[in-house]
Structure 1
Amino acid sequence: AAVIDGVGVVVEVNAETDFVGKNEKFVDFVKGVAATVAKEAPASLDALMECTYAGSELTVTQQQQEMVLVIGENIKVRRFARYAEGVSVPYVHAGGKIGVLVNLETDLDAEKVQEAGKDIAMQIAALNPRFWDKAQVTQEILDEEKKVMLAQMENDPKMAGKPAQVREKIVMGKLNKFYAENCLLQQDFVKDGDMTVEKYLASAAKSLGGTIAFKDAVRFEKGEGIEKKQENFADEIASLVKG
């Protein structure tokens, strides 16, 4: 995650081992991919792979193949996000395991909102909220949560005997708690549990003499959603050499 020429970028590039993840050549390649995303504004991953890699005459695909040959491990650009508007604040957690990019709308200088943005990014990295704001939670999601809660009560000897209207009231109370647990802006602010994230942003804006509004964020956790499988990358490298 980084801000390059005013553009916020977060990318995930996968290698096979943590050792390679710390390799200087690999790190430089990732920075180059981020710079390419910032400059070219590709619409998709396929489009990015066809872009000219920053500071090179090769495409990103060709540069990636070069890196595979140099490092001797499979390397793959997996995904990216880019914000050209607003003020973006990057945060990298646990040596690159999690990358967060927060996008804010503000009338203040970018430098002034860095601390607030980083605080929000750290909260996202640590708690990984399902939603940014309670407005994103649909009735369908709430109905599903309610269904699960009622089923749990049916299986709880202490709750099963209670009248239906009592259980309904308990569920409604739990649904209010659902927002506080799952929605970033309604969560307790980790640095000060007496206020929500929303109130923290309002407080930070007031003390700085301006406005700060949370617009969006991206959280990439390395390898999430990837099924780990063993492949013979020696064959793949051999085929690249032949090519």
Structure 2
Amino acid sequence: MMNISAKMVKELRDKTGAGMMDCKKVLQESKGDVNEAIEMLRKKGLASANKKSQRVAAEGIIECYIHTGAKIGVMLELNCETDFVARRTEFQTLARDIAMQIAASPNVEYISVAKIPENIVDAEKRIETGREDLTNKPSAVKDKIVAGRIEKRLKELSLLDQPFIKQSEITIEDLIKKNIALIGENIQVRRFEKFIVGGGIEKKSNNFADEVAEILQNK
């Protein structure tokens, strides 16, 4: 099987909007012929997903998912273009899969890297720049390491960058694009909220030794 570089995959993805794994697959099948790969993606309906993603999506559903044990819950708004598509089984299955993904991803807080507030990005940069293992590194090397760590950290916070729990070779972004191609409408994650039992409540931590000492003093 021909070795396909990440650069070739990215270039094809930029041209077609298709998912990374789809691009890699057709490049392998076409032996690196980009034009043939584009044609193969078009036949599968995957090359049009990027264009559809620019259209207004104001319909959709709100999906609620409660994880086993009722300790974690997710509420998600997933949008499409028409109410007809919102009622389709494929769309509702996608909404549930994404809600389950959010519940299974403890670090995810934002829809995409682009949605992460600048103050959060700046805070992560300060943390990574100040790490002890970088103290004696040359500036150019240090900057490169920090940039790589920041990119990794921001992707950990981003829903669209998560490997799909049911098919780890694709991301949630790839999954959504596959469904755009399948359904024929734009699909967008509008917003989500995760609920964890006890979240945000400061729990009292009892120190047994202190309790014993207090009891003895009060005798």
- State the TM-score, normalized to the length of structure 1: 0.53
- The structure with the greater share of residues assigned to strand is 1
Give the equivalent residue in structure 2 for 1:165: 140
Give the equivalent residue in structure 1 for 2:64: 90
Change beyond 3 A, Cα 1:101–1:110 = farther
CA RMSD in angstroms comes to 2.1
Is the CA contact (8 Å cut-off) linking 2:128 and 2:150 kept in structure 1?
Answer: no
Q: Secondary structure of 1:186's partner?
A: coil
Describe how 1:39-188 pairs up with structure 2 within 5 A: 86-106=60-80, 107=82, 108-112=85-89, 113-128=91-106, 129-152=108-131, 155-156=132-133, 159-188=134-163
Is the CA contact (8 Å cut-off) linking 2:67 and 2:73 kept in structure 1?
Answer: yes
Change beyond 3 A, Cα 1:143–1:109 = closer
Q: Structure 1: which 5+ runs fail to align? A: 1-84, 230-243
Could you tell me how far 1:200 is from its partner in structure 2?
Answer: 0.8
Is the CA contact (8 Å cut-off) linking 2:161 and 2:172 kept in structure 1?
Answer: yes
Q: Does 1:200 align with 2:175?
A: yes
Higher relative contact order (CA 8 A, sep 6+): 2
Change beyond 3 A, Cα 1:218–1:187 = same
Could you tell me how far 1:118 is from its partner in structure 2?
Answer: 0.9
What letter corresponds to residue 186 of structure 1 in structure 2? D
What letter corresponds to residue 124 of structure 2 in structure 1? E
Q: Structure 2: which 5+ runs fail to align? A: 1-58, 205-219
Q: Secondary structure of 1:95's partner?
A: coil
Is the CA contact (8 Å cut-off) linking 1:179 and 1:186 kept in structure 2?
Answer: no
Could you tell me how far 1:228 is from its partner in structure 2?
Answer: 4.2
2: CA distance between counterparts of 1:201 and 1:134? Answer: 16
Q: Percent identity?
A: 35
Is the CA contact (8 Å cut-off) linking 1:132 and 1:216 kept in structure 2?
Answer: yes
Q: Secondary structure of 2:69's partner?
A: helix
1: CA distance between counterparts of 2:157 and 2:189? Answer: 16
Change beyond 3 A, Cα 1:228–1:142 = closer
Could you tell me how far 1:92 is from its partner in structure 2?
Answer: 0.8
CA displacement, residues 177-197 of structure 1 (integer Å, 9 cap, x when unaligned): 122211111222222222221
Is the CA contact (8 Å cut-off) linking 1:180 and 1:188 kept in structure 2?
Answer: no
Q: Secondary structure of 1:125's partner?
A: helix
Is the CA contact (8 Å cut-off) linking 1:179 and 1:187 kept in structure 2?
Answer: no
Q: Secondary structure of 2:192's partner?
A: strand
What letter corresponds to residue 110 of structure 1 in structure 2? R
Number of aligned residue pairs:
142
2: CA distance between counterparts of 1:191 and 1:140? Answer: 33
CA displacement, residues 16-60 of structure 1 (integer Å, 9 cap, x when unaligned): xxxxxxxxxxxxxxxxxxxxxxxxxxxxxxxxxxxxxxxxxxxxx
1: CA distance between counterparts of 2:138 and 2:63? Answer: 50
CA displacement, residues 170-218 of structure 1 (integer Å, 9 cap, x when unaligned): 1111122122211111222222222221121111222233332111112
